[in-house]
Structure 1
Amino acid sequence: MMKSIFFIIITIVLFLPQSTLSRSPTCNKDDEKVLFKIKKSFGNPYHLASWTKDYDCCTWYCVECDANTGRIIALTIFAGSTISGKIPVEVGDLPYLQKLVLRKLPNLTGEIPSAIAKLTQLTMLRLSWTNLSGPVPSFLSKLTNLYFLDLAFNDLSGSIPPELATLKNLDALHLDRNKLTGVIPESFGKFTGKVPDLYLSHNQLTGPLPKSLGYINFSTIDFSRNQITGDISMFFGTNKTIERADFSRNMLEFNLSGVVFPASLSSLDLNHNKIYGSLPAMLTELHLNLNVSYNRLCGQIPQGGDLQTFDTTSYFHNRCLCGSPLPACK
């Protein structure tokens, strides 16, 4: 008798998880209709060949459904050479979408449609490595649940909308590798929630850095390859926790001698600017990757720490910098 009861219990324990795992969500028919419109707008590309009535749309390539409701929560179209045209406005008709990724699609053109502003549940938006043009839309600030916004490697132009600083959940903002102009918004020193990693490199940004950027604590900043002027001392200090900073290939002009770098700093690239003064001795206390080449620095490279482990390319083409690993000071 006891053996029979034990056998029944074991059977139930083993059977229930299997039946649960074997169930898959049934695609919501409204979402399915929207996906067919998106496919048609893209010209019925081969990349979306699995999008047919023969299969439940939760099993389609590039699509992810919620396991309980069958609603579309992710649309990820990546590296599809047959995808061409503009971003379909129908994308905005997937109300439960949390992740939208259109990446490495060289034939994707046009502007970012305002319909995306309807996707209020989005946590990730990646429209990168495409030929999208036009401005960075200010309406993206309505996507208040975003934690990751990536618009890098496009053909976007115009200024950076200051409204993006109201995205309080943002962990990272990628606007690099575009044709953006104007200044970095003052509002970027007043992020209302998290302080995101900022990637603004390879644009045409100009003007001095807003002093407001010194009011908050960044972890990663990449402003390289722009035409930015001014002093970056505001990003550093004993109370800062910045880890990675790339300001290379700009027009920065300030005295480096008195800058205090925090112990958290692990990478600092200042090459190709107009920075003068000497290297602070406290750099010997840090473990970091360093490049200060092509500036106007003078004096002896402080001895100690990691500073002598770099090759000469980290230091050369300065006005009168000397000492190991460069030639000895005269």
Structure 2
Amino acid sequence: MGSTSRPLLSLLCLALLFYSAISELCNPQDKKVLLKIKQAFNNPYILTSWNPNTDCCDWYCVTCDSTSHRINSLTVFAGNLSGQIPPEVGDLPFLTNLEFHKLSNVTGHIQPAIVKLTHLNFLRLSWLNLTGPIPDFVSKLKNLTFIDFAFNQLSGSIPPSLSELPKLGGLHLDRNKLSGPIPSSFGNFPQGLYLFLSHNQLTGSIPSSFAHMDFGYIDLSRNKLVGDASVVFGSNKTIQIVDLSRNLLKFNLSKVVLPKSLTSLDLNHNMIYGGLPVELTTLNLQYLNVSYNRLCGQIPVGGKLQSFDYSNYFHNRCLCGSPLPSCK
């Protein structure tokens, strides 16, 4: 190689190094934090792409904002992660999405450092093995539109302060070990909320404040709730799906005013009495189950009521008519 070509080669190498340095979009501080998170999880295979020599905006499980190039999403799904969610997640100040999902070896409590993520609007910590209570600090994340803590081992009572989240559209606390009553403050949520509290150990009655609340979807099934559930319904509401099955609810169904928007109603395994409202024939029902209650009288004829299986009506005190045996 000639004497003049060696300096040119050196200059070319320096130029390439300089170009690679300035072409990296990832914020250096964000990169440092992500590498600490990887280390806290003992360098798992799912985070193999988190290589300090590459641009972290190209790493698996993260995305960068197209303008600021700050990390705005951390989504870890169905990998071999184990251990506790490290406090460093709170050191990604521009996160809008945080998700750890289907990672059964992730343990510990809900990480307190999450309270620093003031831009967060989507928070999913589901299908993990989290224990302890749902902390009050969640209510300080005022930009949240969606919370999913389902399929964990969370216990204790539900904090009433969650209703202070002004933008919340979905709340999934189902399949945990939560106990105590449903907070009456839950009647103050934004209208149209999708609320999932099923498969817990909740007790007491459905809050009377729900009379003023118009949910989009409500699932309170498989708890130990008692009393009247008519507050969930109402002629002016636009709720579509109601599941109150497998509780200890006791009220007169014939006096309930059903919203015209209702497409699915599951009341099975309660102590509900009275008869089936004639208004059921006017609804565009895709699903109905009132089995294992104390209902009486003839099943109204019309709409879709005769299209459901007899098992959706059976084990009632004296309910009769198609698809059950005819009334005598």
**How high is the TM-score relative to the length of structure 2?**
0.91
Q: 1:24 to 1:296 in 2, by over 3 A?
A: farther
What is the letter of the counterpart of residue 69 of structure 2?
G
Which residue does 1:72 correspond to in 2?
A: 71
- Show the counterpart of 1:51: 50
Distance (Å, rounded) in 2 between the aligned partners of 1:253 and 1:76: 43
Alignment-mate amino acid for residue 35 of structure 1: L
Instruction: Count matched residues.
Output: 306
Asked if structure 2 preserves the Cα contact closer than 8 Å seen for 1:25 and 1:69, the reply is no
5+ residue gaps, structure 2: 1-21
Contact 2:191 2:214 in 1 (8 A): no
How far apart are 1:113 and its partner, in Å? Answer: 1.4
Aligned residue for 2:217? 220
Instruction: Answer yes or no: is the 8 Å Cα contact 2:223–2:246 preserved in 1.
Output: yes
CA distance in 2, matches of 1:219, 1:53: 45
Q: Match of 1:36?
A: 35
Deviation at 1:215, TM superposition (A): 1.3
1:72-96 CA-to-partner distances (Å, cap 9, x unmatched) read 000000001x200001000000000
Q: Could you say which residue in structure 2 is the equivalent of 1:239?
A: 236
Distance 2:280 2:184 in 1: 30
Pairing of 1:134-173 with structure 2 (within 5 A):
134-173=132-171
Residue 62 of structure 1 corresponds to which residue in structure 2? Answer: 61
User: What SS class does the counterpart of residue 308 from structure 1 fall into?
Assistant: helix
2:35–2:52 CA contact under 8 A, matched in 1: no
- C-alpha RMSD of the superposition: 1.2
| Cα distance change on mapping 1:226 and 1:308 into 2, 3 Å | same
Amino acid at match of 2:243: D
Q: Are 1:25 and 1:65, in contact at CA under 8 Å, matched by a contact in 2?
A: no
Tell me the CA shift for residue 54 of structure 1: 2.6
- TM-superposed CA distance for 1:143, in Å, is 0.6
Unpaired runs of 5+ residues, structure 1, are 1-22
Give the distance between the partners of 1:195 and 1:118, measured in 2 at CA.
28
Give matches, 1:1-330, under 5 Å: 26-80=25-79, 82-191=80-189, 193-288=190-285, 289-330=287-328
- Percent identical residues: 63
Distance 1:278 1:150 in 2: 37
Bigger Cα displacement from structure 2, 82-91 vs 236-245 = 236-245
Q: Which amino acid is the alignment partner of residue 319 of structure 2?
A: L
**How far did 1:24 drift?**
7.7
> Normalized against structure 1, the TM-score is what?
0.91
Contact 1:180–1:204 under 8 Å retained in 2: yes
Q: Does the C-alpha gap of structure 1 residues 259 and 25 become closer, same or farther in structure 2, counting only changes over 3 Å?
A: farther
> Matches of 1:272 and 1:170 in 2, distance apart?
31
